[in-house]
Amino acid sequence: MGPVLALLLLAASAPAEPVVADVTLRDEARGKDLEVRVVHPASGGPHPLIVFSHGAGGSREGVTELGRAWAASGYVVVAPTHADSVELRRQQGEAATLRGAVSLAMTPEALEGRVRDMRFLLDSLELLEEKVPALRGRIERKAIGMAGHSMGALTGQALAGVRTAGGADLSDRRPIAFLLLSPQGENRLLGPDAWAGLKRPTMFMSGTQDRGVGGQPPEWRREPYEKSPPGDKYLVWIEGATHMSFTGRLAGADFSRAAARLQGQGRPGEPGPRLDANEQKEVWDTICRASLAFWDAYLRKDAKAKAGLASLADALAGQAEVKSK
């Protein structure tokens, strides 16, 4: 076989890049336009669906890197921009800041608004297929997962059955598995018994440099796993992972810019995280490997993937601590 033919065959067999599309959906019940990012495989299906909730102050763009990783493995990923988004609020003429966004997001009313955004997405899959015709007939309605980062993880916890301040039940039965990145432990919205109702398969993921915005130590983020009832629960605790590691920005070409931004967000008098470009690439690889193993096991119901979860601690030895119950 000649080299030119070999290259042509390789190109033909290589999977197509995931497709990224931005659309706006109208929630008539709330009189609200919801900006949404969709990342999906170029072909095939029907594919399991993952809905994603960004952190406080973020936007739908926060799903892009994880979305590409998941879509490359056959998942449709959909993420809205919530009302606390700094970018969105500035577009609306407000002098928004990240610190202000965090304060805005950490209220029962704001959390309920986020949950309603996610429910609206799940109610609007037919509308989404109209807006993105390439998705028609390619979303598996009975294989839905929910993922979230930081405040998005709190949004996911509420949808999964975690009771917040006041005891309101904000759960939704449609997601069958949850991935919570940088989840919160006890705070003003989550009491010591908040996790009693979290009974669906859940993977909690954080790491050794993932401090809370209030100065809480990284270990605080282990509490949701420790306080949730046993049964299909996993903790992936990654060596070197910071709060921004889960966005993928520290693993890409703009490492220096993302690292400088992360250092600048530190609390006065506290040392910033230890950052190394090569280590962060390993962290990102661990995030992708562990999350895909979880999705394959519970959304695809893949027996080999479920067995792989059982041996994840050995597979990630030296990179992450993995616990299950």
In a domain, 11, yes or no: no
pLDDT band at 227 (very low <50, low <70, confident <90, very high): very high
Question: Looking at the predicted structure, is the pLDDT value of residue 262 above 70?
Answer: yes
In a domain, 235, yes or no: yes
pLDDT band at 29 (very low <50, low <70, confident <90, very high): very high
Contact by Cβ (8 Å): 63, 39: yes
In the DSSP assignment, the letter for residue 187 is B
pLDDT at position 20 is 96
In a domain, 7, yes or no: no
For 177-209, the pLDDT digits (tens) are: 999 999 999 998 999 999 999 999 999 999 999
Cα angle 173, 175, 180 (rounded to 5 degrees) comes to 120
Nearest to 163 by CA among 117, 197, 202: 197
Q: What is the CATH number of the domain that holds 147?
A: 3.40.50.1820
Using CA atoms, how far apart are residues 207 and 84, in angstroms rounded to an integer? 25
Q: How much is the average pLDDT of 130-141?
A: 96
Domain count, the chain: 1
Cα 184 to chain centroid distance, Å, stands at 14
In a domain, 9, yes or no: no
For 136-157, the pLDDT digits (tens) are: 999 999 999 999 999 999 999 9
In a domain, 6, yes or no: no
Place of tokens 């892009």: 64
Structural domain that includes position 86: 17-324
Residue predicted with more confidence, 15 or 95:
95
Q: What is the pTM of this model?
A: 0.91
What are the φ and ψ backbone dihedral angles of 172, each rounded to 5 degrees?
-135, 135
